[in-house]
Chains A and B, each alone.
Chain A
Amino acid sequence: MSEPQTGSTATFERVADIIAETADIPREKITPESHAIDDLGIDSLAFLDIAFAVDKAFGIKLPLERWTQEVNEGKVPAEEYFVLKNLCARIDALVAEKAAKA
């Protein structure tokens, strides 16, 4: 079994590549601490492009509707989903959840 941190780093590299390519953002600007909206300026349309690429790359379905609802209702701060290290941790969790069901 790999340590969670290792998985997250690999996930971050993959997600950062996807964001760089999809949203045309220089790869070096993208760090684990980057906020997708506040720091990288990704708008909602571009974020859906990224979500599609992430869904395909990892074989998952990011629950964007639930996340959006939770943020809008003030239950979860947006940073929990839009700061990349947090987004990657959630991607890892979804991948693990899918593997457990398989």
Chain B
Amino acid sequence: MRLEYFEMIDSVRHLDRAAGRIEALARVPQESPVFEGHFPGYPLVPGVLLTETMAQASGYLILAHLDFASMPFLMAVDKARFRNFVGPGAELNVEASLVHDGSGYAVTKAAIRVEGKALADAELRFRTMPFPNGLDAPMRARARSIGLLDGAAA
């Protein structure tokens, strides 16, 4: 995870296009300016960044599902729950499932587990739109770098 750059997902472990499901890995860095404020001497990953992590896993799932025809933008977060604390060095197992593929929008359920224990979960909704000019290529490059487009993840 590069928290300051909002690059939350390090790698895609498994993508099941038919089932509409993704599993991804996100390692919390040992150090980050985020931890200087949240909280001094007691570093915790903010819930809002855990939400973003679930949103990004969901986003990559939707990108793969739509075969990069549209870009998902987060538009609603429902039933977000943060069930535990997590700090530097933790390995986050992020999973997301496609609940509904609507016309112009998509709905997912996502969760994060750490060492098998539930950390966070939420229901997320995304507006899906044509890629704004120039965003297509960097999104594909980022997806490739985390293994979304690998044959192993097909």
CB of B75 within 8 A of CB of A64, answer: no
B108 CB, nearest partner CB in chain A, Å: 12
Task: Give the residues in chain A near B104, CB-CB below 8 Å.
Answer: 48, 64-65, 68
Q: Is B111's CB within 8 Å of the partner chain A?
A: no
Give residues 97-113 of B contacting A (CB, 8 Å).
100-105, 107
Interface size class of B (residues with CB under 8 A): 10 to 19
**Using Cβ atoms and an 8 Å threshold, which residues of chain B touch A48?**
75, 102, 104-105, 125, 127
In the complex, what distance in Å separates the CA atom of A48 from the CA atom of B104?
9
Kindly provide the distance from the CB of B137 to the nearest chain A CB, expressed in whole angstroms.
Answer: 23
Interface: A45 (CB within 8 A): yes
Mark out the residues of chain B between 105 and 148 whose CB falls within 8 Å of any chain A CB in the assembled complex.
105, 107, 125, 127
Interchain CA distance A12-B107 in the complex, whole Å: 25
A38 to chain B, nearest CB (A): 21
Choice from B103, B107, B125 contacting A63 with Cβ under 8 Å:
B103
For residue A20, CB closer than 8 A to chain B, the reply is no
B76 contacts the other chain (CB 8 A): yes
Q: How far is the CA of A63 from the CA of B104 in the complex (A)?
A: 8
B45-84 contacts to A (CB < 8 Å): 75-76
Stretch in contact with the other chain, from A2-10, A23-31, A54-62, A83-91: A54-62
* Alpha-carbon distance A31/B100, docked complex (angstroms): 28
Which chain B positions have C-beta within 8 A of A68?
104
How far is B100's CA from A49's CA once the two chains are assembled, in angstroms? 12
Chain B residues near A63: list those with CB within 8 A: 103
Report the minimal beta-carbon distance from A66 to chain B, rounded to whole angstroms.
Answer: 7
A-contacting residues of B (Cβ < 8 Å)?
A: 75-76, 100-105, 107, 125, 127
- Listed in ascending order, the chain A residues whose CB lies under 8 Å from chain B are 45, 48-49, 51-52, 55-56, 61-66, 68
Provide a sorted-by-A list of 26 A–B residue pairs whose CB atoms are within 8 angstroms: A45-B75, A45-B76, A48-B75, A48-B102, A48-B104, A48-B105, A48-B125, A48-B127, A49-B76, A49-B125, A51-B105, A52-B100, A52-B102, A52-B105, A52-B107, A52-B125, A55-B102, A56-B100, A61-B103, A62-B102, A62-B103, A63-B103, A64-B102, A65-B103, A65-B104, A68-B104
